Chain A
Amino acid sequence: MKILSKTYGSIFFIFSFFCISIPIFSFASDSQQNINKFEEQVQSLFKTSCFSCHGQKQQLGGLRLDSRDAILRGGGRGSPIASGHPEQSLLLKAIDYSDKSLQMPPKGKLNEEQIALLTRWVKAAAEWPGGHKSQNLITHWAFLPIGKSTIPTVKHKAWVRTPIDAFILAKLEHQNLVPSRRADKRILVRRAAYDLTGLPPSPLEMDAFIKDTRRNAYEKLIDRLLASPRYGERWGRHWLDLAHYGDTHGYDKDTRRDNAWPYRDYVINSFNADMPYSRFIQEQIAGDVLFPLNSQALIATGFIAAGPWDAVGNLELKEGTVEKEKTRLLDRDDMAANTLATFDSMTVHCARCHDHKFDPIPQRDYYRLQAVFSGVERGDRPYESPERMKQRAVLTSRVASLTQDRDTLQKKIDSLGSPELIELDKKLELERFKLNSLPKIPGTASETNGYHSLISKTPDQIKWVQIDLGKSFPLSSVILFPARPVDFRDTPGFGFPARFRIEVSDTSDFIQKTNIVDCTKADDASLWDIPTLFQFQDVTARYVLITATKLWKRNYDFVFALGEVQVESNGRNVARGAIITARDSIEDGRWSAKYLVDGFDSRTSLPDYTSGSARDLLKQKLGYTLTIRTLLDEREKKHYALISQELLIALAALKKELKETLTELNHMLKPNQVFALVTHAPRPIWVLRRGDVEQHGELVRAGALSCVPGLNAVFALKDTDSEGDRRASLAKWISSQQNMLTWRSIVNRVWHYHFGKGIVDTPNDFGKNGSAPTHPELLDWLACYLLEHGQSLKQLHRIIMLSSVYMQSSEGNAAFEKLDSDNRLLWKMNRTRLDAEEIRDSVLAKAGTLNLKMGGPGYEVFKYTYDYSPRYDHFDLDKILSSSAWRRAVYCFQVRSVQNPFLECLDCADPNINTPVRNTTLTALQALIMWNDPFMVQQSELFSAGLQKRNATIDAQINDLYRTVLGRKPAFGEIEKVIRFAKRRGLANTCRLLFNTNEFLFLD
């Protein structure tokens, strides 16, 4: 092949996407290596038998056979192959020698084996091995189905503890490399503890393991660590690196996102619960749709919303502008790109402006993914615990059924009848007819409600309103028009007091007064929802005072209100436009004391009702209404007599239970909020030429990648307008066992975190521009293992950590480094520097100050102020030193614009981007923070205090310090120097010193 590509150079470098439409050979039982071998055999056969006439130098019959392009293009007779259809292929006809006019190669028939090879090749879509760019995309390793790998045989069988070892060892033996010896127990326990929990083993745990001589001691250690809640905190943190989780929105203003943390807790809990991986995927993409009764699944969708969000652009830009569309495009880009990068290790964002340059991802696929997220916005979404959600559902349905029972029973009761009732109903009908036949006085709509007192917490507040007629008049009646505001739910009689009196006087001090109405003794049974006329003996007075002695109950408070008042003197309303004073009054909008006499009640203009036809009409209306109400009372009594005791008891019981149930429902706590997805009808999505929101191409449906064989790229949705169905389909597409990307991606990530490097060392990019797997068969074996073991990540950790590969020492070997300087073949374990969180958590753990409280809102290591724009001051010493910050770093409130300087300096993940691999740098600034940061100095002091408390002598203190930080005794030659320093410069400085040693900061 090498010779070939030299000779034929660039000829077969221009393969295009049409290859995708060719039937795909099933590689289920073939490894990538076998396929390559197969293709190379075909190529070499062509080379020896055909190229001399159909190659670079000459092309007899116009046919050239030295590139796939050329083969498909064919010669004078058309293409020699019909890929997937051997019976129609000219090539096979020719080599078969059955047609005398077409026999190739002319020198002589190929042998049976060679014919079989070419037949198989045509059947298998006629793939062609290539150099760099020409390599066919469908044969790219990442898109091949996961093969069942054969466990290789090795010479050094004793070393193989798990099948993983065989895969690694086979390659090592092939390169004449030898694995390193097993690391000692002190190193193993430290390695395993950090790996699974992100924390060091305590001295006691370390001793216990070292002393445990049972054969399965190491296995037991792994099991114990996997069961620790610290495991979820460690591996959850890895996951949050990918989700680019943060506790603020980022961008301009960088507003707090106070409801982000439930998602962080969900991730931690899911790892601890060892949730099957496909379920973990589904919940995070569409948990609210697929598992609607499970609040945790709703919280899981915080994954989609976890990244930075241009709140100003999304909330403040005007609808319908180009800028708004750009903002939305980028917002969906973050969701789609991050989902595919995280779960499938694909770089779809490269296809926003044009087809992907390296991978078979046309722009259309990218916009199909955008369409999946075109019906979601980021925002707070209510959720509650499954128990409460269940409780709420039970109560709601109970209310519904009780209401129905009550209505049924009420209907039954209402329909009870007797001859007497029939008689009464006839009378009622007649009176109603009379009432409705009265002429209507036309009016214009009112713009005012009337008078409204201030709101009172209790009903017994005395409220009054006084009308000053301007001078004395002989008065003979007062008409009160109840309020019926239009800006409140329709309530006739709004604000009409339960008890009240009306007094008149000639002087404003009311020393001499006449009480003309007194309804203060009992709540009046009459219904004050219609205009009411009070007539009395003529009294000469200037002032009319209406005093409410028991207020009207509004919702949970009490008020006094009236729509209008008319006061009669000699057949004329003298109150219109009078001066109104009140004890208190709401003067706002449609309410004002002066509106009490503005000629309008709450709904309409009023004629003068104090005389003439209007007054007659009012009286008639009052008369009929009273008659109707009396009849109704009578009817009710008669009807009541007909109702049996059982029915009454049953109805009362129903009403009581309904009331209680409603109370219980109303008293339930309001649901919590999580920053996740707020959904709406999907917006149309077009392919955008050059990624420009103003250049619409074709309209696309929701879908995913077309390069994953066996899965539909366009989702078959029952309801294409359903937002939820789109995400649910993507969740299923990604979590499908047939999606080889998903399963290779996760096992590679787990491997990466255990070894510091993935089998594919670009964990977010399985495309052609990423790295190829160093051990493809092992990658597939691990994917199969995960699928066959309940998709349990804990099982996966276990099998990896029990391998000899994992248990190797990390010491170097100059000779091996020459052969494999990057240790890609794993002849030793990789030594790593502790990461930012491990360092901070370890310092707290060693100092004895670590608070293991799990979950809840993140602790803030900054002073927060809001001055029209949030400010996060990370230099505030009180916050840096506060004991509230002595929790694990995974619970630290993460500000996107200003990261925690301590963690940032130590290469923590930038919450603005998906971080598949942490950078590990060694800088002078790190030396400064480790040595000088107030937190480090504070912890050193606290640590030394603890050591002094535990140990009487300086020797014992130093021994304890060494045992705690480094897990060993001070070495000979070391102890003297350190004790001397401790004596001269203090134990706190000595603790500081040990926290800065390489031995503490590197993990062997």
Chain B
Amino acid sequence: MIPKEINRRELLWKAGGGLGGIALSYLLGSEGALAETEKFGKGRQDLNGGLHHKASAKRVVQLFMSGAASQVDTFDYKPELIKRKGQPFDPGAKIELFQSSPGSVMQSPWEWKQHGNSGLWISGLLPNLANCADDIAIINSMVSKSNVHGPATFMQNTGFVLPGFPSMGSWISYGLGSMNDSLPAFVVLPDMRGFAPNGPANWGAGFLPAAYQGTMIRPGSKNPIFDLNPPTKSFITPESESEGLHLLNDLNRDHFSKHTGDSRLEARIQSYELAARLQLSAPEVLDISKENSAIKNLYGLDKPITEDFGRRCLIARRLLERGVRFVQVWSGADNGFPRRNWDSHEDLARDHGMMAAEMDRPSAALIMDMKARGLLDDTIVIWTTEFGRMPCSQGSKGRDHNPYTFSSWLAGGGIKGGTTYGQSDAWSYKAEVNPTYCYDLHATVLHQLGIDHKKLTFHNNGIDRRLTDVHGNVIHELIT
């Protein structure tokens, strides 16, 4: 029903992309920022889809542990804490905590072992991820600029502690667009229990066009995608829908014929076809009934504790497989009670215990499954959180916020598995060797996607803005 001779470039430029497989470099071309890529469409083919240099990855999936996952109970092994458990915590400098005064040194409730050929230290809290030790590259010297959840969560997502900036997923969509003609470039799968601190502002487009914001999908709810389908009404039938859209197209075409030369009118007509394609492709990607039961069990869909995160990880894989550029999966909701995120001030063993039990198996499954499908080779997995937790206790069983050092890891997409980068001090109180900010992590991810983080810019209120602000160094030690 839609004529094929539309001026594709014009249309895409005006339509702003984000959805329906629009090659966003067209839009970039119009902005002049990345004009040279214009004729190549989705990134430069000679650069394996990169914009500025050869890309070694095409997709990203980010697992975000909301509430601050503890490094000293997961990936940052410190024998000092076992040796000195119960002793006063005295790292030799003034200690500023968020809520409490420093308690005594607290040993992790979980045992530590080395895993894989690489011998990475991973705690007994994460037995399944431990099996993936040789695939992941751990950064044990991450630093945040805030010890408050809101600003710090913004920082890990957007590079800024203030609201109103585009998230990494938005920047990457803006840079590369989608690889699928019927799905959004950037999809977010929030925790079913609710939103993390800052809510959907975490995946907002900021000053970038709204088309680049994360599209929220809530698998398992009645309407997984907002307004994908009309409400149930007697007068709305498949026939009325198709006839209605057809007539709408006619009316809009008549109107357009009287107002030639305005490509926006054309683009809006086209947007209904893109919407129709999304209506068809979204249910297919969300329907996991055809996945075999071994796969479903791998992700933990057979157990209530892993079911939600597992389903979202599996859907993340399906989305990536179909060309979605960036998927963000959240572990943890708001800061309410009882605890439903990683913010374990009161009882670390109980609350980290629960959150990890939900997250560990599905995350490992995602790595293994993608690896088996060859998808991991050009998909980067990011595991991150907004900041870490203190080596000393809060109350007697909890841990307070620690912005000075925490752990993140990367896998796949040309990342060197089985490595660690950076070190914290003997306590894991402050980053000591190679302190690393989100800027460096973001720069590295963009680098793998074939993007120079200094060249991906958007002019706003007087400044050529970047994901990495005025910072960021690609961490070459993490790259194969």
Measured between beta carbons, the chain A residues less than 8 angstroms from B248 are 993, 996-997
Most buried by A among B14, B98, B197, B199: B199
User: Is B272 engaged at the interface, CB distance under 8 Å to the other chain?
Assistant: yes
Nearest-neighbour CB distance to chain A for B14, whole angstroms, equals 6
User: Is A654 engaged at the interface, CB distance under 8 Å to the other chain?
Assistant: no
Measured between beta carbons, the chain B residues less than 8 angstroms from A770 are 462
Are the C-beta atoms of B149 and A904 separated by less than 8 Å?
no
User: Is B335 engaged at the interface, CB distance under 8 Å to the other chain?
Assistant: yes
What is the 8 Å Cβ interface bit string for chain A, positions 920-934, against chain B (1 contact, 0 not)? 011111111101111
Separation of A899 and B199 alpha carbons in the complex (Å): 9
User: Is A326 engaged at the interface, CB distance under 8 Å to the other chain?
Assistant: yes
Measured CB to CB, the nearest residue on chain A to B212 is A921
Separation of A322 and B336 alpha carbons in the complex (Å): 26
Are the C-beta atoms of B146 and A347 separated by less than 8 Å?
no
What is the 8 Å Cβ interface bit string for chain B, positions 237-278, against chain A (1 contact, 0 not)? 001100111011011101110011110110111011011011
User: Is B396 engaged at the interface, CB distance under 8 Å to the other chain?
Assistant: no
Nearest-neighbour CB distance to chain B for A201, whole angstroms, equals 20
Most buried by B among A359, A913, A925: A925
Q: Say which one of B224-232, B317-325, B372-380 lies at the interface with A.
A: B224-232
Are the C-beta atoms of B198 and A897 separated by less than 8 Å?
yes
Are the C-beta atoms of A910 and B259 separated by less than 8 Å?
no
Contact of B151 among A251, A875, A905 (CB under 8 A): A251
Are the C-beta atoms of A937 and B230 separated by less than 8 Å?
yes
User: Is B463 engaged at the interface, CB distance under 8 Å to the other chain?
Assistant: yes
Are the C-beta atoms of B233 and A981 separated by less than 8 Å?
no
Nearest-neighbour CB distance to chain B for A653, whole angstroms, equals 61
User: Is A811 engaged at the interface, CB distance under 8 Å to the other chain?
Assistant: yes
Q: How many A-B residue pairs have CB under 8 A?
A: 253
**Number of A residues contacting the other chain (C-beta, 8 Å)?**
94
Separation of A359 and B227 alpha carbons in the complex (Å): 46
Measured CB to CB, the nearest residue on chain A to B470 is A353
User: Is B444 engaged at the interface, CB distance under 8 Å to the other chain?
Assistant: no
User: Is A655 engaged at the interface, CB distance under 8 Å to the other chain?
Assistant: no
Nearest-neighbour CB distance to chain B for A449, whole angstroms, equals 35
User: Is A914 engaged at the interface, CB distance under 8 Å to the other chain?
Assistant: yes
Are the C-beta atoms of B164 and A252 separated by less than 8 Å?
no
User: Is A614 engaged at the interface, CB distance under 8 Å to the other chain?
Assistant: no
Q: Say which one of B113-121, B201-209, B346-354, B421-429 lies at the interface with A.
A: B201-209
Are the C-beta atoms of B255 and A997 separated by less than 8 Å?
yes
Nearest-neighbour CB distance to chain B for A406, whole angstroms, equals 54
Are the C-beta atoms of B243 and A998 separated by less than 8 Å?
no
Are the C-beta atoms of B334 and A974 separated by less than 8 Å?
no
Nearest-neighbour CB distance to chain A for B260, whole angstroms, equals 7
Measured CB to CB, the nearest residue on chain B to A921 is B16
Measured between beta carbons, the chain B residues less than 8 angstroms from A219 are none
Contact of B251 among A812, A926, A937, A993 (CB under 8 A): A993
What is the 8 Å Cβ interface bit string for chain B, positions 151-166, against chain A (1 contact, 0 not)? 1011000000111100
Are the C-beta atoms of B161 and A330 separated by less than 8 Å?
yes
Separation of A877 and B221 alpha carbons in the complex (Å): 14
User: Is A488 engaged at the interface, CB distance under 8 Å to the other chain?
Assistant: no
Are the C-beta atoms of A321 and B96 separated by less than 8 Å?
yes
Chain A, range 2-29, C-beta contacts under 8 Å to B: none
User: Is B148 engaged at the interface, CB distance under 8 Å to the other chain?
Assistant: yes
Interface size class of B (residues with CB under 8 A): 35 or more
Nearest-neighbour CB distance to chain A for B447, whole angstroms, equals 25
Measured CB to CB, the nearest residue on chain A to B154 is A251
Are the C-beta atoms of A765 and B462 separated by less than 8 Å?
yes
What is the 8 Å Cβ interface bit string for chain B, positions 140-181, against chain A (1 contact, 0 not)? 000001111111011000000111100000000000000000
Are the C-beta atoms of B244 and A910 separated by less than 8 Å?
no
Are the C-beta atoms of A252 and B230 separated by less than 8 Å?
no
Measured between beta carbons, the chain A residues less than 8 angstroms from B16 are 921-923
Separation of A250 and B271 alpha carbons in the complex (Å): 32
Measured between beta carbons, the chain A residues less than 8 angstroms from B199 are 254, 872, 895, 897-898
- Known contacts A330-B161, A912-B163, A923-B210; A310 and B148 CB within 8 A of each other: yes
Contact of B231 among A326, A330, A912, A937 (CB under 8 A): A937
Measured between beta carbons, the chain A residues less than 8 angstroms from B274 are 923-924, 927
User: Is B223 engaged at the interface, CB distance under 8 Å to the other chain?
Assistant: yes
Are the C-beta atoms of B201 and A896 separated by less than 8 Å?
yes
Measured between beta carbons, the chain B residues less than 8 angstroms from A814 are 261
Contact of A341 among B145, B271, B461 (CB under 8 A): B461
User: Is A999 engaged at the interface, CB distance under 8 Å to the other chain?
Assistant: yes
Are the C-beta atoms of A923 and B243 separated by less than 8 Å?
no
User: Is A542 engaged at the interface, CB distance under 8 Å to the other chain?
Assistant: no
- Known contacts A898-B200, A921-B209; A928 and B278 CB within 8 A of each other: yes
- Known contacts A252-B148, A897-B201, A998-B255; A932 and B230 CB within 8 A of each other: yes
Separation of A618 and B256 alpha carbons in the complex (Å): 106
Are the C-beta atoms of B151 and A981 separated by less than 8 Å?
no
Measured between beta carbons, the chain A residues less than 8 angstroms from B96 are 318, 321-323
Separation of A985 and B248 alpha carbons in the complex (Å): 13
- Known contacts A350-B463, A904-B210; A312 and B250 CB within 8 A of each other: no
5 A–B pairs (Cβ distance < 8 Å), ordered by A = A252-B153, A323-B148, A769-B462, A869-B335, A923-B211
> Using a CB–CB distance below 8 Å, which chain A residues touch chain B?
250-254, 308, 310, 312-313, 316-318, 321-323, 326-327, 330, 334, 341, 347, 349-350, 358-359, 764-765, 767, 769-770, 811-814, 817, 831, 833, 867-869, 871-872, 875, 877, 895-899, 901, 904-905, 907, 910, 912-914, 916, 919, 921-929, 931-934, 937, 941, 971, 973-974, 977-978, 981, 984-986, 988-989, 992-993, 996-999, 1001-1002, 1004
Q: A308-B162, A932-B229, A1001-B268 known; 20 other A-B pairs, CB under 8 Å?
A: A251-B151, A251-B163, A251-B197, A251-B198, A254-B199, A323-B96, A326-B145, A330-B162, A833-B264, A869-B335, A896-B201, A910-B206, A913-B164, A923-B15, A923-B274, A924-B271, A932-B228, A937-B236, A993-B244, A998-B265
Listed from nearest, the 4 A-B pairs whose CB atoms lie closest are A897-B199, A347-B462, A252-B150, A251-B150
